[in-house]
Amino acid sequence: MPDAADPRDARIAELEAKVAWLMERVGKLEAENAELRTRLGQNSTNSSKPPSSDPPGVPRQAKPPSGRKPGGQPGHKRSMRKLVPAEEVDDLQELVPEACRRCGRRLRGRDPHPLRHQVIEIPAVKAWVVEYLLHALLCRCGAVTRAELPRGVPRGAFGPMLMSMVALCTVRFRQSKRLAQELLSTLLGVELSLGSISKIERQTSEALAAPVEEAREHVRQQPVANADETGWFEGKSAGRKARAWLWVLTTSLVTVFQIAKSRGEDIARQMLGDFAGVLGVDRWGAYNFVDALRRQLCWSHLLRDFQGFVDRGGKGAVIGRKLLRQTDLMFAWWHRVRDGTLTRRTFQRRMWPVMEEIRRLLRSARVRAEPRTRGMAKAILKLKWALFTFVREPDVEPTNNVAERRVRPAVIARKLSFGTESPAGSRFVERMLTATTTLRQQERNVLDYLAAAHQARLLGHAAPSLAPM
């Protein structure tokens, strides 16, 4: 007869199965714990999170000494208040001493080069009100004819300069309609209803529509541009602010904005149009339709990725530190190229071994590092041809910081619960952002331009161009 089954064997098998299950469970929990610890350790130095979200005590990587003296560097544009030309001074008061400060003797004569001291003051501001009396006269034929307003005079109650100030208050200076209403009442003595402010915004949007489209086409024809996008709000959904995105496309002298409900490739294609130049971006997938040879990945983002390698530890940390050292060397040379103390040809020659070493380290991280670091290295290597476009192409920056700077005022506005209530409101905001940002880049007077655009609308003329003059 066969031996009777030993009940201990069944118990052992049961325990082995339970141990296997527990080991599997432990592995999952360890992976989940590692993921949560990674998320908890994320900050602005190793991820795309903004510095404002960092908790106290986040360590900052010290910048390597540049070897330069403190203060303004050679070639830096000096910034100081200039004296107003003598012919533009409104009130000149000459102060001549009458007696010697030491002995008290009477003084005579004139100083050919007196010290100029100017005090800038604003006189009491009062709105300028023009009244038009439209007479109506009766003809012998029985018809009554009333005079018409001259061409270019607004049919409403507010002129181009005042309308421009209202638009600047609600967008550029990020004031709510109620605060803009109070500001204009306090400073100018002008009383406007909230409905009037909304109407002025619509009229300003109409005045800017054509020049903004012209600016959009101008940007698309440039050899180099940078793009970025940030969160926004438009309207409401289920009683809450509805998510939207503010896109920016910028060049050295013109910047255009667009608010859209999507962060997808369709909006990126819409923004870029027939753009055939080099585009500076981060690794957001919406731009993947642009050939890698015509893209420059942002090295500020890559630096945070490499710091993430270090912070996650393991073999990836060793590779991450080596990548950071190579990147520091690259930026030190790049800053010299930008300052004119290193020729581009010498820079390109020095960069060949650095580029090879960075690619080698990324390939090593893709194979040897921990899972999350491996995945990041693999994603970067997929776009390896977009890593060093700035080395071979002139006027291309290694970072996308210029686009982030252009969009930063809107980010601040968003944090102040700023958004748009409708698609029409979005068009007004994106057109105002385009106009004000571009005009500041070109050092043109924003208020004068907006007033001229309003006046052109009243006369039926084309608005002034936003393209470089």
Q: Mean pLDDT throughout 253-268?
A: 95
What is the enclosing helix (H) or strand (E) of 371?
A: helix 371-381
178-192 per-residue burial string, b: 16 or more CB within 10 A, e: under 16: eebbebbeeeeebeb
Predicted pLDDT at 240? 79
Nearest in space to 466 (alpha carbons), one of 319, 306, 321, 256: 256
Confidence check: pLDDT of 39 > 80:
no
229: Cα separation from own chain's centroid: 9
Predicted pLDDT at 412? 81
Give CA–CA dist 347/391, Å, rounded. Answer: 8
Tens-digit pLDDT profile for residues 57-68: 666 666 667 667
Predicted pLDDT at 123? 85
Give CA–CA dist 234/211, Å, rounded. Answer: 24
What is the enclosing helix (H) or strand (E) of 410?
A: helix 401-415
Output the CA torsion sign for 440, 445, 448, 449.
negative
CA of 203: how far to CAs of 196, 198, 260, 452, 456, in Å? Answer: 11, 9, 21, 13, 12
Confidence check: pLDDT of 282 > 60:
yes
Q: Evaluate whether 281 touches 296 at the Cβ level (below 8 Å).
A: yes
Provide the residue type at 458 as one letter.
L
Q: Evaluate whether 429 touches 258 at the Cβ level (below 8 Å).
A: no
Pick 9 or 218 by higher pLDDT: 218
Confidence check: pLDDT of 99 > 70:
yes
Q: Mean pLDDT throughout 17-43?
A: 79
Predicted pLDDT at 56? 56
* Summary mean pLDDT of the chain: 89
Q: Mean pLDDT throughout 294-304?
A: 94
Residues in the chain: 469
Tens-digit pLDDT profile for residues 195-209: 999 999 999 999 999
pLDDT-based confidence at 25, cuts 50/70/90? confident
Q: Mean pLDDT throughout 97-116?
A: 93
Predicted pLDDT at 359? 95
pLDDT-based confidence at 42, cuts 50/70/90? low
3-state secondary structure of 236: strand
Dihedral pair phi/psi, residue 4, rounded to 5°: -65, 145
Give CA–CA dist 199/345, Å, rounded. Answer: 56
Q: Evaluate whether 51 touches 44 at the Cβ level (below 8 Å).
A: yes
How many CB atoms sit inside 10 A of residue 121's CB?
6
Provide the residue type at 331 as one letter.
F
Confidence check: pLDDT of 48 > 80:
no
Place of tokens 């209403």: 181
Predicted pLDDT at 4? 64
Predicted pLDDT at 312? 87
Q: What whole-number percentage of the chain has pLDDT above 90?
A: 69
Tens-digit pLDDT profile for residues 350-407: 999 999 999 999 999 999 998 889 999 999 999 999 999 999 998 999 999 999 999 9
Q: Specify the pTM.
A: 0.80
Pick 79 or 449 by higher pLDDT: 449
Q: Dump the DSSP string for 191-223.
A: ---HHHHHHHHHHHHHHHHHHHHHHHHHHHTSS
Give CA–CA dist 228/437, Å, rounded. Answer: 15
Q: Evaluate whether 406 touches 250 at the Cβ level (below 8 Å).
A: yes
| Rg of the chain, C-alpha, whole Å | 32
pLDDT-based confidence at 54, cuts 50/70/90? low
Q: Mean pLDDT throughout 125-139?
A: 92
Segment among 17-26, 263-272, 322-331, 392-401 with least mean pLDDT: 17-26
How many CB atoms sit inside 10 A of residue 464's CB?
17
Q: Evaluate whether 316 touches 369 at the Cβ level (below 8 Å).
A: yes
CA of 334: how far to CAs of 394, 401, 442, in Å? Answer: 12, 15, 26
